Structure 1
Amino acid sequence: MHHEVTVEINAPRETVWALLEDVERWPEMTASIKRVERLTEGPFGEGSRARVHQPGLPAAVWTVTDFAPGRAFTWTARTPGVTTVASHDITSHPDGTVSVRLGLDQSGPLAFLVALLAGRRARRYVAMEAAGLKQKAELQQTK
């Protein structure tokens, strides 16, 4: 399964990036995430791990596999039969706004079954996360 959402945000890259990398505060932006627990100490970056709790889904441990400070990160969660990769990419525009692309890919022998059972929820959650990020970032700009 592959799914992605792109959202235009009227906020600078720094504001959006600060929200993206502060994964423990994601539940403040969206109802699609109940709790995030960092499992590694230190700054968020490649190799960082976090347990993400989402409504109606088993908790998953995500590991950052690619990290470009201020621009993008990708993390991966593995469960028996399925590998899920989530990407978070920021593109700056000359007017000071940004586009954020959130991607979700699932592969493995059970990926088709998971997509059938939970694909609609996964797509809804990615859309909720994009909308929540946009709202939070733009709200910070008005303060």
Structure 2
Amino acid sequence: MRRQERETMRFEASTEIAATAEQVWQVQTDIDRWPEWTHSVRRARRREPGPLAVGSTALLEQPRLRPAVWRVVEVAAPYRFAWVSQTPGVRSHGDHRIVPLPDGRVRVELTLEQRGPLAGPVGWLFGDLTRRYLRMEADGLRRRCERA
């Protein structure tokens, strides 16, 4: 395997939210409504009805990026879901974790890991945008959950 095929780029954002894990989970997994609370998503559409489950898919449209289909690969309600999206040369893995804190709040941890022969160049070109979008998602989720 060539070096560039093993290349990995990782991006992270986190925030603490004055809400329960169940409240945050309800907002975070209602993917069709993401554009209401984060400007990092222009349009989101689940492709199947029902609760989020392994195999569920969603189409996300984000400013300055191509539309992407994400497929859920792990669910541990109400604490975590992970999904993947594939584009030529890059496989993206997004992880959404809700960690209960001793004071009754939660910490939300968002990560995006990109692997593949084009992960380095894509990370270099879009790294700042990716970091900004993860921050927007974390902050928007906090505002939405604390307002509810």
TM-score range, shorter chain: over 0.9
Residue 38 (str. 1) matches residue 24 (str. 2): no
Matching residue within 99, 114, 117 for 2:125: 117
Matching residue within 112, 131, 140 for 2:139: 131
Report how far residue 37 of structure 1 moved: 1.1
Q: Say which SS state the counterpart of residue 44 (structure 1) adopts.
A: coil
Matching residue within 109, 117, 136 for 1:101: 109
1:3-50 deviations in Å (ceiling 9; x for gaps): 111101111111101011101111111111001111123321111000
**Following superposition of structure 1 onto structure 2, how do residues 1-143 of structure 1 map, counting pairs within 5 Å?**
1-140=9-148
In 2, Cα distance between the equivalents of 1:92 and 1:47?
Answer: 26
Percentage of pairs with the same residue: 44
In 2, Cα distance between the equivalents of 1:90 and 1:43?
Answer: 17
Report how far residue 96 of structure 1 moved: 1.2
Q: Say which SS state the counterpart of residue 62 (structure 1) adopts.
A: strand
1:98-123 deviations in Å (ceiling 9; x for gaps): 00000010000011111111111011
In 2, Cα distance between the equivalents of 1:41 and 1:15?
Answer: 20
4+ runs deviating over 4 angstroms: none
Structure 1 unaligned spans of 5+: none
Report how far residue 93 of structure 1 moved: 1.5
In 2, Cα distance between the equivalents of 1:94 and 1:29?
Answer: 26
In 2, Cα distance between the equivalents of 1:42 and 1:136?
Answer: 22
1:49-70 deviations in Å (ceiling 9; x for gaps): 0000000100000000011010
More divergent stretch after superposition (95-104 vs 36-45): 36-45
Q: Say which SS state the counterpart of residue 14 (structure 1) adopts.
A: helix
Q: Say which SS state the counterpart of residue 135 (structure 2) adopts.
A: helix
Task: Count how many residue pairs are aligned between Structure 1 and Structure 2.
Answer: 140
Q: Say which SS state the counterpart of residue 95 (structure 2) adopts.
A: strand
Q: Say which SS state the counterpart of residue 13 (structure 2) adopts.
A: strand
CA RMSD of aligned residues (A): 0.8
Q: Say which SS state the counterpart of residue 131 (structure 2) adopts.
A: helix
